[in-house]
Amino acid sequence: MYGWAGKILRVDLTKGTISTEETKKYTDYLGGLGFGYKVIFDEAPKAGPFDPENRLIFAIGPLTGTMAPSTSRPEVISISPHSYATQAKHSMASRSNFGGYWGAELKFAGYDAVIVQGKAPKPVYININNDKVTIEDASSVWGKDGLAAQEAIKQLQKDEDIQIATIGPAGERMVRIAPIIHRLGNVARQGGFGAVMGSKNLKAIAVRGNKGVKVADEKGLIEYVKVVRSFQPAPLGATPLSSGPLSWTGKHIDPADINHQAQRFNQTESNAPWLMKYHLKTQSCYSCPQGCYTYMKTPKEGMGAVSCTQWFYAWMGNRDEATFQASQLVNKLGLDSFEMFPMIQFIWFLQDEEVNGKSLLRHMYDKKLVSKKNLDVLEAAHYPRGGGDLGSAGLEGMLTMMAYREDFLGDALGEGFRRAMDILSDEFKRLKMPDVADGVMKFVKMEGIMGGVVGGNGGWGMSAHYDPRTFGYYWAVNFAMENCDPMRHSMTNLIEWTGLSFEQAMPVAIRHWGKDVAENGLNDIHRDRTTPLTWNGDKSAKANAYLSQFIHYRGCIKDSLTGCDWVYPVMVSGREDRGYAGDISVEYKLVGLVTGEKMTQEKLNEQAARTWTLHRLLTVLEWNDGKAVNMREEHDQIPDHFFAPVDTRLLPAYPPADPPHPPLIRENFEATKTEYYKLMGWDVKTGLPTRSLLKKLGMQDVLASFEAQAFKLPS
């Protein structure tokens, strides 16, 4: 098998057994994400996230470890402790991934995936060294932070180059917002999979391999990678610009100015220019020419890596070294940096919102839900009421409190911001303080930064990117279908971060999707914040449904090939002679060259359809315990506030947030859903995948298994 290692590793921590099985069993599902969903569907679809039978899968794809650009981000799949839908009977399967070198190393060691199940009787780590796989005692590593733990394992194994994925103290305590950490800052952030590792007493998975990857057409691959890279010096797919507003309106970067293009993107310069004196270099994941993240070193914090939402503290209003301190702290403690947006806003809200002349936080102190020490910490961490820099006061104590679950309040915050609201509100109800209980719940309506989404429940309890009111109905459907942050960069790579103006980007959109889709789906995204989206009836519904399907299929392909979201699909190029267009057929050409299979986009789409259908069926099983359910009505919804004008003040006061666009119209949303179900081959009334779709996709085994444990799907 070209591209594949051919073997999947299974480690049962309860039994202490290690075995391998053939990769071939899963290749209809392409790799990465598809593998993970199939394993969960086949083996434990309704497990609780912390049940020993829950599977934790690290999976890679045929391109991982080859020279195909930006394709070594292993996918992590499990039943998520982070996802939170009060209507669901079970926790839902979810996904995350991380960059760095671990994924490529796993392939070099000879494996396409690692399936972890069971629970070790005491802390352990898994050590993979080519064919030699052992379960090692982790008692000397347990308790160490996410960076120190890696150093300790390197010393234990006497190998500086070993690649390690680990958890921090938060994961050990099953904090539901605990990620998995690799190297200095490559993190599988959302989903709470660090907590799943903690529940299994699994501190880390260390990997070392030297087997290489067999490629079917080496010469062809080398030549084609040159072609792909020639789309530069402008963005290969595009990453955020080093300056300028995060919107395509009025933006036009000179293609000759490569210092303002993604290839030379320097996130320190963009996000925290005051830290440039500590910037060491930009750094890349395996096989990636982008170098999108920053290596930094300060006298106080030492060495670390920062990228994307790890800059959260700067985006929230900090302008000094505390920006880097905050990033280091979340990586060391093992907390999800993206969750910190709503979480810190929630902590501020508890102080700003008063009931009977007293802040919610002070009510908590009165009832001994928070200690004096942590009350002082949180009040110090409030944004400065008189203006000025956010600063570092209280920062470490606040993050430590949730990572270590200190006090009733810290324990609640360790459950994630959305669960914490319910826990605290319920506690005040129990204490017969209904006004305070209601006060806590007001946060759900708050409009925060990141497009006003983080205060709602767009990601089923997880913070989520970008407001559907800004992007439109395809983005709203995206929110409705996913079980986590629905963010897929495929769209934002074109419409947010390219440096192309609306006028430059629209022809690219037409080239990729045709005139009808581009003009009716993206027609007026550049509007100002007072103008509602225009709606051209059926045409808009169909165009938005098409874009939504594109996002989902291309997301499944990318996550199954372990491609990077910043890059795939390659939407744009900075080259004027290409009309700034990228090439959205790159993935299948790379797969063909690596595996030797005759590949087409249709074939990849079919594999994506299988993966997305599995995700859907898993959600159906988990949502209503396998009993009949109308997904259209129950699951495929977005928070009400997207359909209504803002009725509460904006959060946070730091920094001032843009007001959201005018509300969506519910009947347009429903019309888009109808067209989406039709495109997907799902039943329009219930949103369920049909029997004929599963047969068409060759998923008879899945159909039989689903119907045996649940109910008959619509024909």
Closest CB 242 distance from ligand SF4, rounded Å: 14
- CB of 286 vs ligand SF4, minimal distance in Å: 8
Residues 6 or more apart whose CB falls under 8 angstroms from that of 110 comprise 5, 6, 7, 130, 131, 209, 211
| Residue 291: CB minimum distance to ligand SF4, A | 6
What's the min distance (Å) between Cβ of 256 and ligand SF4?
A: 22
Q: Enter the tokens of residue 444.
A: 């759900």
Q: By C-beta, is 157 or 284 nearer to ligand SF4?
A: 284
Please choose, out of 290-298, 357-365, 427-435, 511-519, the segment that lies near ligand SF4 by the rule CB under 6 A.
290-298
Sole binder of ligand SF4 in the list 187, 314, 326, 564 (CB under 6 A): 564
Residue with tokens 């689903």: 706
In this structure, the strands spanning 7-12 and 113-117 are parallel
- Name the phi and psi angles at 127, rounded to 5: -115, 115
Q: Could you give the 3-state DSSP secondary structure of residue 180?
A: strand
Strand partners, 94: 78
The size of the interface with ligand SF4 (CB under 6 A), counted in residues, is: 12
Q: Which of residues 294 and 425 has its CB atom nearest to ligand SF4 in the complex?
A: 294
Binding string, residues 621-640; x marks residues near ligand SF4 by CB under 6 A: --------------------
Instruction: Looking at 75-116, list the stretches that DSSP marks H as alpha helix, in order from N- to C-terminal side.
Output: 102-109
Q: Counting contacts by CB under 6 A, is residue 439 touching ligand SF4? A: no
- Each as own residue / partner, the long-range contacts of residues 275-284 (CB below 8 Å, 24 or more positions apart, any chain) are 275/321, 275/323, 275/324, 278/321, 278/324
285 binds ligand SF4 (CB under 6 A): yes
CB closer to ligand SF4 out of 406 and 565: 565
> Which one of residues 292, 326, 638, 713 is an interface residue with ligand SF4 (CB under 6 A)?
292
The verdict on 311 binding ligand SF4 (CB under 6 A) reads: no
Return the sign of the alpha-carbon dihedral for residues 134, 135, 136, 141: positive
Does the protein bind ligand SF4 through residue 232 (CB under 6 A)?
no
17, two tokens = 């057994």
Stretch that binds ligand SF4, among 40-48, 440-448, 502-510, 562-570 (CB under 6 A): 562-570
Which lies closer to ligand SF4 via its Cβ, residue 283 or residue 318?
Answer: 283
- Under the binding rule (CB under 6 A), the answer on residue 338 touching ligand SF4 is no
Strand order in the sheet with 293-298: 279-283, 293-298, 302-306
Among candidates 541, 583, 587, 544, which has minimal Cα distance to 562?
587
- In the complex, the smallest distance separating the C-beta of residue 284 from ligand SF4, rounded to whole angstroms, is 4
d(CA 374, CA 360): 14
Going residue by residue from 141 to 160, which x/- string records binding to ligand SF4, judged by CB under 6 A? --------------------
CB of 559 to ligand SF4, least distance (A): 13
Task: Tell me the window of 123-131, 285-293, 357-365, 417-425 that interacts with ligand SF4 (CB under 6 A).
Answer: 285-293
Residues 402, 423: Cα–Cα separation, whole Å: 14
Which residue lies nearer to ligand SF4 by CB, 188 or 364? 188
With contact defined as beta carbons under 8 Å apart, do 62 and 3 qualify?
A: yes
- State the minimum distance, in angstroms, from the CB of residue 4 to ligand SF4: 21
Transcribe 160-172 into DSSP letters. Answer: TT-EEEE--HHHH
Q: Is the bond leading into 240 cis (omega within 30 degrees of zero)?
A: no
Q: Which is nearer to ligand SF4, 293 or 677 (CB)?
A: 293
Stretch that binds ligand SF4, among 289-297, 397-405, 459-467, 534-542 (CB under 6 A): 289-297
Alpha-carbon distance values, 169 to 304, 331, 517 (Å):
18, 10, 48
- Contact region for ligand SF4 (CB under 6 A) — 26-34, 282-290, 407-415, 582-590? 282-290
DSSP characters over 313-371: HHHTT--STHHHHHHHHHHHHT--TTTHHHHHHHHHHHHH-EETTEEHHHHHHHTTSS-
Q: Is residue 344 part of the contact set for ligand SF4 (CB under 6 A)?
A: no
Nearer to ligand SF4 by Cβ, of 293 and 348: the residue is 293
Give whichever of 71 and 523 is closer to ligand SF4, judged by the CB atom: 71
Member of 383, 502, 566, 676 binding ligand SF4 (CB under 6 A): 566
Closer to ligand SF4 by CB, 102 or 428: give it. Answer: 102
How would DSSP label each residue in 590-630? HHHHHH-----HHHHHHHHHHHHHHHHHHHHHHHTTTS---
Q: Is the CB of 193 or the CB of 348 nearer to ligand SF4?
A: 193
Least distance (Å) between residue 71 CB and ligand SF4: 8
**Using the rule CB under 6 A, which residue among 64, 78, 290, 544 binds ligand SF4?**
290
Q: For the window 53-92, what string marks contact with ligand SF4 as x by the rule CB under 6 A?
A: -----------------x----------------------
CB of 520 to ligand SF4, least distance (A): 31
- Amino acid letter at 367? K
CA distance 715 to 508: 39
DSSP secondary structure code for residue 118 in this structure: S
Angle CA(82)–CA(86)–CA(92) in degrees, nearest 5? 45
Least distance from C-beta 188 to ligand SF4, angstroms?
Answer: 12
- Return the residue of 567, 593, 594, 631 that touches ligand SF4, per CB under 6 A: 567
Is-contact 253 509, C-beta < 8 A? no
Least Cβ distance, residue 262 to ligand SF4 (angstroms): 8
Query: Is 284 an interacting residue with respect to ligand SF4 (CB under 6 A)?
Result: yes
Measured from the CB atom, the residue of 70 and 686 that comes closer to ligand SF4 is: 70
Supply 449's token pair: 């930064």
Find the part of the chain contacting ligand SF4 (CB under 6 A) among 320-328, 349-357, 564-572, 664-672. Answer: 564-572
402 contact partners, CB below 8 Å, separation of at least 6: 170, 175, 177, 335, 343, 410, 413, 414
- One residue of 57, 152, 288, 403 binding ligand SF4 per CB under 6 A: 288
The CB-of-423 to ligand SF4 minimum distance in angstroms stands at 34
DSSP 8-state assignment for residue 244: S
Q: 290 or 400, CB closer to ligand SF4?
A: 290
Return the exposure string of 517-550: e unless at least 16 CB atoms fall within 10 Å of the residue's CB, then b: bbbbbbbebbbeeeeebebeeeebbbbbbbbbbb
Amino acid at 221: L
Pattern 92-131, ligand SF4, x by CB under 6 A: -------x--------------------------------
Of 218-226, 280-288, 380-388, 627-635, which segment contacts ligand SF4 by CB under 6 A?
280-288
Summarize as ranges the residues that interact with ligand SF4 (CB under 6 A): 70, 99, 284-285, 288, 290-293, 564, 566-567
